[in-house]
Amino acid sequence: MADTKKILVVDDEAIMRDLLTDFFEMMDYGIMSAKDGSVAWEILSESAPDEYSLIITDINMPKMGGIELFKKVKSKFPDMPIILMTGYGIEKVKQDVEKADGFLAKPFELDDLNQLVEKILS
């Protein structure tokens, strides 16, 4: 299917990556996952500019966190939609979160995530 939208999920928690991967596969999205921002950046650097329709990334991760990934992606792919998510408060990263295409506080309902993704990708 040529028009399948592909999502890159970035989270250092394997349980969260697996949950989101399974969820998006059920919703007929193509899916790729990465355990941190540096792995995600490698994936994006080796991909066609339009290969991914959306990035969903955790903010707090080892090596490269979601905010650093967000800034790198937006500098190279300014039109790439990015949803930031975190289980921590957003005060320290409020300015960056406001620039993101979406934000989710963990834990969140998959229904809320799905509505946000559909809104961004439509």
Q: Going residue by residue through the chain, which has 122 residues, state the pLDDT in tens, using 9 for 90 and above.
A: 446 899 999 999 999 999 999 999 999 999 999 999 999 999 999 998 889 999 999 999 999 999 999 999 999 999 999 999 988 777 767 777 888 999 988 889 999 999 999 999 99
pLDDT of residue 49: 83
pTM for the model stands at: 0.91
Q: What are phi and psi of 106, to 5 degrees?
A: -80, 145
Q: Given its phi and psi angles, is residue 28 left (phi above 0), alpha (psi -120 to 50 degrees) or beta?
A: left
pLDDT of residue 2: 46
pLDDT of residue 14: 97
Q: Where are the domains of the chain?
A: 6-121
The CATH superfamily assigned to 6-121 is Response regulator (3.40.50.2300)
